[in-house]
């Protein structure tokens, strides 16, 4: 029964996404950041905030990318939608199934697959770059490609990640930052420094690209009003 439920959610989710994004227009900036490596046959590691996942699934669909998805039940829904859009998935996270997820990503990278990770997932804090993606870069030597997107109009959910859904007919801009590399001998302090730098770049870029939808989501834990979900 659960498998049927997850499968139906994947079909429905992919269908709704296709309908929504058939009405939007997209502009890509800085694509050369990753296309130069694709021409060389070198995989890349895309990193972006969890709240921007939905449009990026659509605009990078069917590119043979392997995405890290959490082991939580919610992750199964995300996994099915990803698979319907031509992604492969590795299950795990920095908080649950982390080592399994890391090994799966390294195997995929060594098989020549691009990777996609949300370094503030699966549960936040929003916009804080955790270093798991950089550990993969350190082990594989692959370039890290930070990217962010903006929309001319959209809805932001009151979820931990401020999940972004562009409105129909909106204009979407994808912007790719220059590649970052992590040397094999990097220390934990080095990873934290690089992660902090990339996180600052992504937050600044996200704010610049989304002047109309950058209000941060409210933190339910800080509110005591009735009816709030904890």
Q: What is the CATH number of the domain that holds 111?
A: 3.40.1130.10
What pLDDT, in 10s, does the model give residues 155-208? Answer: 999 899 999 999 999 999 999 999 999 999 999 999 999 999 999 999 999 999
Can you point out the beta strands (E) in the chain? Answer: 25-29, 45-47, 65-69, 88-91, 114-117, 144-151, 154-156, 164-166, 171-176
pLDDT at 140: 95
Q: What is the residue range of 143's domain?
A: 2-217
3-state secondary structure of 47: strand
Cβ–Cβ < 8 Å for 107, 74: no
Cβ–Cβ < 8 Å for 13, 77: yes
How many domains, in total, are found in the chain?
Answer: 1
Nearest to 145 by CA among 182, 179, 196, 118: 179
On whether residue 225 sits in a domain, the answer given is: no
Entry pTM: 0.87
On whether residue 23 sits in a domain, the answer given is: yes
What pLDDT, in 10s, does the model give residues 130-163? Answer: 999 999 999 999 999 999 999 999 999 989 999 9
Nearest to 17 by CA among 5, 7, 9: 9
On whether residue 224 sits in a domain, the answer given is: no
On whether residue 223 sits in a domain, the answer given is: no
Q: State how far the alpha carbon of 60 is from the alpha carbons of 41, 53, 70, 228, in Å.
A: 17, 10, 20, 35
pLDDT at 89: 95
Cβ–Cβ < 8 Å for 13, 76: no
What pLDDT, in 10s, does the model give residues 58-105? Answer: 999 999 999 999 887 778 888 999 999 999 999 986 554 467 788 999
On whether residue 190 sits in a domain, the answer given is: yes
């Amino acid at each position: 029964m659960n498998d049927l439920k997850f499968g139906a959610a994947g079909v429905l989710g992919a269908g709704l996404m296709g309908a929504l994004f058939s009405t939007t227009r997209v502009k890509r900036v800085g694509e050369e950041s990753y296309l130069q490596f694709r021409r060389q046959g070198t995989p890349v590691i895309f990193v972006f905030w969890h709240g921007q996942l939905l449009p990026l699934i659509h605009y990078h669909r069917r590119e043979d990318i392997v995405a890290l998805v959490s082991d939580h039940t919610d992750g199964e829904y995300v996994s099915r939608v990803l698979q319907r859009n031509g992604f492969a998935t590795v299950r795990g996270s920095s908080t649950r199934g982390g080592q399994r997820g890391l090994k799966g990503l390294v195997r995929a990278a060594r098989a020549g697959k691009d990777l996609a990770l949300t370094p503030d997932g699966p549960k936040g804090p929003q916009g804080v770059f955790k270093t798991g993606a950089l550990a993969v870069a350190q082990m594989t030597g692959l370039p890290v490609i930070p990217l962010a997107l903006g929309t001319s109009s959209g809805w932001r959910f009151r979820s931990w990640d401020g999940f972004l859904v562009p409105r129909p007919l909106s204009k979407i801009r994808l912007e790719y930052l220059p590649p970052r590399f992590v040397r094999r001998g990097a220390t934990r302090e080095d990873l934290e420094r690089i992660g902090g730098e990339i996180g600052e770049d992504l937050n600044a870029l996200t704010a610049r690209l989304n002047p109309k939808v950058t209000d941060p989501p409210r933190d339910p834990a800080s509110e005591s009003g009735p009816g709030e979900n904890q």
